Amino acid sequence: MSTRLDQRSDNKEIRPLSTSQNILNRADGSAKFSFGETSVMVSVCGPMDVSLRDEKLDEATVEVVVRPATGYAQTNEKLMESTLRTTFEPIILSGMMPRTLIEIVVQIEKDDGSVLSAAINGIALALLDAGLPMKYLPSSVTCAVDKATDDIIVDPTSKELENTSSCHTFAFDGTSTKPHILLSNSIGQFSEQQYFACHDLCFEAVDKVQGFLRVSVESKKEKEYQQLHQ
């Protein structure tokens, strides 16, 4: 198999993953998540007071703000805000926190492809860091279809995306028995066969991301335990 533009040898290979949590003092929870050069910083505040206009009697209001690496938020960021909000509203146990606000801010530090997946993974970790209850720990992977060869590449870079006909981001609930789709976001032109092939590859690849998230959470818990018992 030919080497990819960033020297990965396999179309199924994910770039190196990295994360850190509890890094912003003024937030209730925070996390940084990276796929290679793609990096996002997420802060979570809440539950906190909500305006009467946005108040919900039986659950918390979830608000998502996406800030680009440079300049002001444009259409892409607004679309991402909507996608992230509708993804996480059913995951957060907001019924336990009625008449409150949970504010999630995603600061894109660098977008080198798979930024929506990076945001989903970062939000999941930041919510855990804030101690907010969730039904499960979601995880996400992106893939794309090469325009010339129809090959499917997992975790594409921005340069690779320039030569693709479609891009697909999936998020799964991380249950061990049979993970379910939480998000399916597709852009471009593609056949039904290509869509399901992308789903299957992302389904396989997300195991690595899910495992990484769980190890990161356990590592944080262990550090906190050691600090408490020093």
Those residues whose C-beta lies under 8 Å from the C-beta of residue 221, and which sit 6 or more positions away, are none
Query: How many Cα neighbours within 13 Å face the side chain of 165?
Result: 14
Other C-beta atoms closer than 10 Å to the C-beta of 176 total 6
Q: Is 12 part of any domain?
A: no
Q: For residue 138, what pLDDT is reported? A: 97
Q: Is 6 part of any domain?
A: no
- Residue 64: phi and psi, rounded to 5, are -125, 130
The whole-angstrom separation of Cα 179 and Cα 195 is 18
**Segments forming the whole domain that contains residue 25:** 17-228
Longest dimension (CA), the chain: 58
pTM: 0.96
Q: Which two tokens stand for residue 230?
A: 């020093």
The whole-angstrom separation of Cα 85 and Cα 102 is 11
Q: For residue 176, what pLDDT is reported? A: 66
At CA 76, angle to CA 72 and CA 80, rounded to 5?
105
pLDDT in tens, the chain (230 residues): 468 989 999 999 999 999 999 999 999 999 999 999 999 999 999 999 999 999 999 999 999 999 999 999 999 999 999 999 999 999 999 999 999 999 999 999 999 999 999 999 999 999 999 999 999 999 999 999 999 999 999 999 999 999 999 999 999 998 766 779 999 999 999 999 999 999 999 999 999 999 999 999 998 888 877 788 77
Q: Is 7 part of any domain?
A: no
Q: Is 45 part of any domain?
A: yes
Instruction: Count the domains in the chain.
Output: 1
CA distances from 98 to 50, 52, 56, 137 (A): 10, 12, 7, 22
The CATH number assigned to the domain holding 92 equals 3.30.230.70
Q: Is 185 part of any domain?
A: yes
